[in-house]
Chain A
Amino acid sequence: RKEVEQDPGPFNVPEGATVAFNCTYSNSASQSFFWYRQDCRKEPKLLMSVYSSGNEDGRFTAQLNRASQYISLLIRDSKLSDSATYLCVVNSGFQKLVFGTGTRLLVSP
């Protein structure tokens, strides 16, 4: 079983739609969780951290469910510029990050 699992997609949504991605992780001792964004042929960049209480940054909301070991990312009012691959990332200890395969999002006009 992979340490971090994501649906690779692609998720095709129209502008203005709400879309949600889930990710599961296998290491119950994991302490930190993140969503990174990766544009085509570019490097990954931190989108947001995921806290136990959940957190929101504009149109983006991230939530953590430790009991079920999953992380979610919700994007409201999708923009064309949101088209990218969203990587679920788990800190497995001592600053070591484990990346999922990514979920590809395509937002169309």
Chain B
Amino acid sequence: EAGVAQSPRYKIIEKRQSVAFWCNPISGHATLYWYQQILGQGPKLLIQFQNNGVVDDSQLPKDRFSAERLKGVDSTLKIQPAKLEDSAVYLCASSLRGYNRDPYEQYFGPGTRLTVT
């Protein structure tokens, strides 16, 4: 079974530039998450989608971050404009609701490492 795919794997941009990340979840997974993981910290949830609807975006800095999940499959996360403190790994995860042994198990993609200079 293919895992969660993310691209690009690495991105270096200057502050005030824009950047977009792409995620393709595991086939059939209804729930998709974007996390930000700053070095030395645990992942912090930015936004959670159930199919193509937003369940939780309370920690998404909406003045500069946006995300969408059209058709309930792929998702993109955008930062515009980027700040130095946005340097982090952006992880996408997906979960299959309610059908496996651990309904809350989340499967993570390899992440996108963003450096803002």
Contacts and interface: CB of A to CB of B under 8 A. Distances in A.
A99 B55 contact: no
A1 interface: no
Interface residues of A, number: 21
Given A34-B105, A96-B55, A101-B42, 6 more contacts: A32-B104, A44-B43, A96-B45, A97-B106, A99-B44, A100-B42
A99 B95 contact: no
B110 interface: yes
Nearest to B48: A96
Nearest to A98: B45
A98 to B, nearest CB: 7
Interface in A56-108: 87, 91, 94-102
A95 B95 CA distance: 9
A90 B9 CA distance: 28
Nearest to A2: B42
Interface in A1-53: 4, 8, 32, 34, 42-46, 49
Contacts of A32: 104
**Chain A binding surface, main DSSP class:** strand
B72 to A, nearest CB: 15
Interface of B: 31, 35, 40-45, 48, 55-56, 91, 95, 97, 102-106, 108-111
A96 to B, nearest CB: 6
16 contacts: A4-B42, A43-B111, A44-B91, A44-B108, A49-B102, A87-B42, A95-B31, A95-B55, A95-B97, A97-B45, A98-B45, A99-B42, A99-B44, A100-B42, A101-B40, A101-B42
A99 B43 CA distance: 6
